[in-house]
């Protein structure tokens, strides 16, 4: 019997591609003392039966980088370990059969260019030349990514495992993790069928079992096993062994050459989930029964594409389980419930493509305690308590699976599992014509349909049906006053004798201002990158109220909690559901507010950047004088039970001033004009406040240490190599983000945000302009700019400051 060590620095659970890659990188890059435990034998979970297509392009630059890394690793691994990975750079063709898909590909090809990847658009004739067995009659064209390819999932995993061993990792098979010993919320030992291992950190790479392995330590890993099928055919005459892989999304199918035959699978609109209970322990190398009835829909489509398939014998059908997630992205990072369990799971049928890179970044994350790059879209902290609801996770995951190959329209919303969380104003706002979107479960008004118009989104690739209605809402905020229901904002209270000291260390800006003041601040990682962007209101000597974006609830709470030193006398409570938020914004905001409260809301008594408790409609309301739209305004934080009365009072008192409810799409347009940054797109852990133009919010001049200070000091005063800039383009240009920025015809960056500014009457984008020699004002203003939008160049103007600025007199008046 294999002996387990009694102690290991890091225990990796799961011997699929993700666990082996993580163990390999922990051992190779960090010389860590690592033990990998596998309940069966290596690859026996989902890995052995993967089809092995390896694509690289994603909509996030960082995730694309992770996938590109996988390819580089698979190319070279054999030279190191002596075990081949089966990597073949065949390239990938994606087929378009309609104009919307073609527009999607044109945008994707632009994104590829922005991320430094080669991607071409090719004609049906060219496709036929590259893939003679294909019927191309219905094609508009195809995209061609020459560096994509295919590999052998089991071979890569065995090669990674061998590499891990060569670098000192210990791999033990046929041992099951059965539980954890916990102390003060941390894992101190892993319990197994062969005994216990004391450890410092655990990495949960247990594939579809990751949910139940997490649950043993109280951790939620919201994934759902779904059945996924493909066939392998006998040899097909005329099929080249280096034939490109094919994705035919309009027919929901994919193809890859394998030993002279074809692998063909697909993503059906009616996926079949597996269990919502525990996955059986005994499932090594097992498959479900073939389900030809369910698979027939793919077969019909595939034969129309490749007629030779009709006569090809089916050698084997694979029907295996794979973990999918509610948003189609995988799950990485440190669990919010337990600071020494890391997770790498939920790979949505691209675990082979991601494996190399995911193991690389996860290993670094485990060792450093912070993500090495902006991994927000895959961060486990993008979920919240609602994701413990198995039925909700199931419904949303199946919707995401069903949309895998549908055209991705801009601004598209999910439909399943809604409404989930509503503010008490939901029915009132509906009566005003609200069309809702959802964010982390919350229903939020995106826009208000004017009387007589259809109150729903009609998706298209160009201007959508809400465009004019949002324009009117935008103008109303600039000219009069609007109310935004932002009750979904995440809110925390931080109290205790050490609260000030602790927050002053965590926040880059100065939060030691007197009681009654607000501070807009970033929270920085050790590289000086922006981990969070939020507002801190000081309501008492040791009483702070923190407000951040809806989606960042778990993440920002976790970041702060993780950086509270042991023994500090601080209490932090999430009070999101206790407080509703009404943002009253626009030049007439003061008139409306003065009409509902006896408090003095004049500029002298209640200046910008201040927070006061004021009475409205019999309730004590926390009023924060701040704006995200570039107008006079207040965020009113109202005890949730009273928000209906406060809203009604504001609407009644505001009638003479024309007050109206306004939605999130107008908010986005307003903030783009004023140049306020959005975390997760414009500002991320990859960017410092200096690069983002937020140096004014960093207390470098104060003699106080704070997280990220030394990284900023090291670069302060030196020329910046990238800077976030605003761009405008013609009114008919549709900007969505990721469009390439050209300076004097040369690529210098890409847009992180895109939209439309109704006051300016122009398209607006933000993006980092990069130059190794420095990005001075002179450099920026001396260039002439274009944006590449869906593969076409359009002229653009650069803006070093806000492109719409009513003047701080108006905001601060």
Ligand X SMILES: Cc1cc2nc3c(=O)[nH]c(=O)nc-3n(C[C@H](O)[C@H](O)[C@H](O)COP(=O)(O)OP(=O)(O)OC[C@H]3O[C@@H](n4cnc5c(N)ncnc54)[C@H](O)[C@@H]3O)c2cc1C
Give residues in contact with ligand X (CB under 6 A): 13-19, 37-40, 44-47, 49-53, 176-177, 205-209, 213, 228, 230, 318, 320, 322, 345, 347, 349-353
Could you tell me if 654 and 481 are in contact, meaning their C-beta atoms sit under 8 angstroms apart?
yes
Report the alpha-carbon distance of residue 211 to residue 189 in Å, rounded.
19
Give the nearer residue to ligand X in terms of CB position, either 279 or 494: 279
Smallest separation (angstroms) from ligand X to the CB of 121: 24
Could you tell me if 605 and 516 are in contact, meaning their C-beta atoms sit under 8 angstroms apart?
no
Smallest separation (angstroms) from ligand X to the CB of 41: 8
Give the nearer residue to ligand X in terms of CB position, either 353 or 626: 353
Length of the chain measured in residues: 813
Smallest separation (angstroms) from ligand X to the CB of 20: 7
Burial of 256 (C-beta count, 10 Å sphere; 0-12/13-18/19+): buried
Beta bridge partners of 49: none
Give the nearer residue to ligand X in terms of CB position, either 56 or 110: 56
Residue owning tokens 């199931």: 394
Report the alpha-carbon distance of residue 237 to residue 314 in Å, rounded.
14
Smallest separation (angstroms) from ligand X to the CB of 206: 4
Smallest separation (angstroms) from ligand X to the CB of 36: 9
Smallest separation (angstroms) from ligand X to the CB of 254: 7
User: Which tokens in the block code for residue 227?
Assistant: 């059945």
Smallest separation (angstroms) from ligand X to the CB of 152: 11
Q: Tell which residue, 381, 379, 374, 332, has the closest CA to residue 686.
A: 374
Give the nearer residue to ligand X in terms of CB position, either 14 or 633: 14
Q: Tell which residue, 468, 359, 509, has the closest CA to residue 30.
A: 359
Smallest separation (angstroms) from ligand X to the CB of 50: 3
Burial of 666 (C-beta count, 10 Å sphere; 0-12/13-18/19+): buried
Q: How many helices (H) and strands (E) does the chain have?
A: 19, 38
Give the nearer residue to ligand X in terms of CB position, either 46 or 110: 46
Q: Tell which residue, 218, 185, 183, has the closest CA to residue 204.
A: 218
Residue 572: helix, strand or coil by DSSP? strand
Smallest separation (angstroms) from ligand X to the CB of 130: 20
Give the nearer residue to ligand X in terms of CB position, either 346 or 630: 346
Residue 205: helix, strand or coil by DSSP? coil
Give the nearer residue to ligand X in terms of CB position, either 341 or 698: 341
Report the alpha-carbon distance of residue 688 to residue 699 in Å, rounded.
14
Residue owning tokens 């991601």: 354
Give the nearer residue to ligand X in terms of CB position, either 322 or 631: 322
Give the nearer residue to ligand X in terms of CB position, either 26 or 511: 26
Give the nearer residue to ligand X in terms of CB position, either 320 or 661: 320
Alpha helices in 538-588 (DSSP H): 553-562
Give the nearer residue to ligand X in terms of CB position, either 354 or 509: 354
Angle between helices 153-166 and 61-81 (to 10 degrees): 70
Report the alpha-carbon distance of residue 754 to residue 630 in Å, rounded.
18
Could you tell me if 526 and 716 are in contact, meaning their C-beta atoms sit under 8 angstroms apart?
no
Report the alpha-carbon distance of residue 288 to residue 227 in Å, rounded.
8
Smallest separation (angstroms) from ligand X to the CB of 320: 4
Give the nearer residue to ligand X in terms of CB position, either 37 or 140: 37
Residue 416: helix, strand or coil by DSSP? coil
Smallest separation (angstroms) from ligand X to the CB of 344: 7
The whole-angstrom distance between residue 533's C-alpha and the CA centroid of its chain comes to 16
Q: Tell which residue, 322, 328, 321, has the closest CA to residue 400.
A: 328
Smallest separation (angstroms) from ligand X to the CB of 205: 5
Give the nearer residue to ligand X in terms of CB position, either 331 or 638: 331
Residue 662: helix, strand or coil by DSSP? coil
Residue 563: helix, strand or coil by DSSP? coil
- CA trace torsion 807, 808, 809, 813 (10° rounding): 140
Give the nearer residue to ligand X in terms of CB position, either 217 or 345: 345
Q: Tell which residue, 372, 345, 210, 361, has the closest CA to residue 279.
A: 210
Smallest separation (angstroms) from ligand X to the CB of 64: 14
Strand ranges, E, within 586-632: 611-616, 619-624
Give the nearer residue to ligand X in terms of CB position, either 50 or 570: 50
HSE (CB half, 13 Å, CA atoms) of 722?
Answer: 19
DSSP string for 512-571? -SPTTBEEEEEEE-TTS-EEEEEEEEEEETTEEEEEE-GGGHHHHHHHHHHTSPTT---E
DSSP strand pairing (177-183 vs 253-258) = unpaired
Give the nearer residue to ligand X in terms of CB position, either 39 or 753: 39
Could you tell me if 757 and 764 are in contact, meaning their C-beta atoms sit under 8 angstroms apart?
yes
Smallest separation (angstroms) from ligand X to the CB of 6: 18
Smallest separation (angstroms) from ligand X to the CB of 246: 12
Smallest separation (angstroms) from ligand X to the CB of 272: 12
């Amino acid at each position: 019997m294999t002996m387990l060590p009694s102690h290991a620095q890091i225990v990796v659970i799961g011997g699929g591609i993700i666990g082996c890659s993580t163990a390999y990188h922990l051992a190779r890059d960090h010389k860590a003392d690592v033990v990998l435990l596998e309940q069966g034998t290596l690859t026996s979970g989902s890995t052995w039966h993967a089809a092995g297509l390896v694509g690289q392009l994603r909509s996030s630059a960082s995730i694309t980088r992770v996938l590109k890394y996988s390819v580089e690793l698979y190319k070279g691994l054999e030279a190191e370990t002596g075990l081949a990975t089966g990597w073949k750079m065949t390239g990938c063709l994606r087929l378009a059969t309609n104009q919307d898909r073609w527009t999607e590909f044109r945008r994707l090809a632009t994104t590829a260019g922005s991320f430094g990847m080669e991607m071409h658009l090719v004609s049906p004739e060219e496709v036929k030349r590259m893939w003679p067995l294909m019927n191309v009659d219905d094609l508009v064209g195809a995209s061609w990514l020459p560096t994509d390819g295919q590999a052998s999932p089991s071979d890569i995993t065995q090669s990674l495992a061998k590499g891990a061993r060569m670098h000192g990792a210990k791999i033990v098979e046929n041992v099951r993790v059965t539980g954890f010993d916990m102390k003060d919320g941390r894992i101190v030992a892993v319990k197994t069928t062969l005994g216990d291992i004391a450890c410092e950190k655990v990495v949960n790479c247990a594939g579809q079992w990751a949910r139940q392995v997490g649950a043993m330590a109280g951790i939620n890993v919201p994934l759902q096993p779904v059945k996924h099928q493909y066939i392998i055919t006998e040899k097909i005459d005329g099929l080249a062994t280096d034939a490109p892989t094919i994705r035919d999304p309009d027919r929901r199918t994919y193809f890859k050459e394998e030993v002279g035959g074809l692998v063909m699978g697909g993503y059906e609109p009616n996926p079949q989930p597996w269990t919502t209970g525990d996955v059986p322990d005994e499932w090594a190398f097992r498959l479900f029964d073939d389900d030809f009835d369910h698979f027939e829909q793919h077969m019909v489509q595939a034969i129309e594409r490749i007629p030779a398939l009709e006569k090809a014998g089916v050698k084997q059908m694979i029907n295996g389980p794979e973990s999918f997630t509610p948003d189609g992205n995988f799950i990485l990072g440190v669990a919010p419930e337990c600071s020494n369990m890391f997770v790498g799971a939920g790979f949505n049928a691209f675990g082979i493509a991601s494996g190399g890179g995911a193991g690389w970044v996860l290993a670094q994350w485990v060792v450093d305690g912070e993500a090495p790059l902006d991994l927000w879209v895959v961060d486990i902290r993008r979920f919240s308590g609602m994701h413990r609801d198995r039925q909700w996770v199931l419904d949303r995951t199946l919707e995401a699976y069903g949309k895998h190959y549908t055209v991705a329209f801009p601004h598209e919303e999910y439909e399943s599992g809604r409404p989930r969380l509503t503010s008490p104003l939901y029915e009132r706002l509906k009566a005003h014509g609200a069309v809702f979107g959802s964010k982390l479960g919350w229903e939020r008004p995106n826009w208000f349909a004017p009387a007589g118009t259809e109150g729903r989104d009609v998706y298209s690739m160009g201007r959508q049906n809400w465009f004019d209605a949002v324009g009117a809402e935008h103008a109303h905020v600039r000219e009069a006053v609007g109310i935004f229901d932002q009750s979904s904002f995440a809110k925390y209270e931080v109290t205790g004798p050490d609260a000030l000291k602790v927050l002053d260390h965590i926040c880059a800006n100065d939060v030691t201002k007197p009681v009654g003041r607000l501070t807009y601040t970033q929270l920085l990682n050790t590289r000086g990158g922006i981990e969070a962007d939020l507002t801190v209101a000081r309501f008492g000597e040791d009483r702070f109220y923190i407000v951040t974006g809806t989606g960042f609830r778990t993440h920002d709470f976790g970041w702060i909690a993780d950086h509270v030193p042991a023994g500090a006398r601080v209490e932090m409570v999430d009070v999101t559901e206790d407080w509703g938020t009404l943002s009253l914004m626009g030049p007439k905001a003061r008139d409306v507010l003065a009409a509902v409260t006896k408090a003095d809301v004049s500029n002298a008594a209640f200046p910008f950047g201040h927070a006061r408790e004021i009475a409205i409609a019999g309730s004590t309301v926390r009023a924060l004088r701040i704006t995200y739209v570039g107008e006079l305004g207040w965020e009113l934080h109202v005890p949730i039970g009273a928000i209906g009365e406060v809203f009604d009072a504001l609407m009644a008192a505001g009638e003479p001033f024309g007050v109206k409810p306004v939605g999130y799409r107008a908010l986005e347009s307003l903030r783009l004009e004023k140049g306020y940054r959005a975390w997760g797109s414009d500002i991320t852990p990859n960017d410092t406040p200096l690069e983002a133009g937020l140096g004014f919010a960093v207390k470098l001049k104060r003699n106080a240490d704070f997280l990220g200070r030394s990284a900023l000091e090291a670069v302060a005063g030196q020329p910046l190599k990238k800077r976030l800039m605003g761009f405008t383009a013609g009114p008919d240009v549709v900007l969505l983000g990721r469009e390439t920025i050209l300076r004097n015809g040369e690529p210098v960056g890409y847009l992180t945000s895109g939209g439309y500014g109704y006051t300016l009457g122009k398209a607006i984008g933000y993006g980092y302009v990069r130059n190794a020699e420095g990005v001075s004002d002179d450099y920026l203003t001396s260039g002439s700019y274009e944006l590449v939008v869906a593969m076409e160049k359009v002229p653009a103007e650069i803006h070093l400051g806000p492109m719409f600025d009513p003047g701080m007199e108006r905001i601060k008046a």
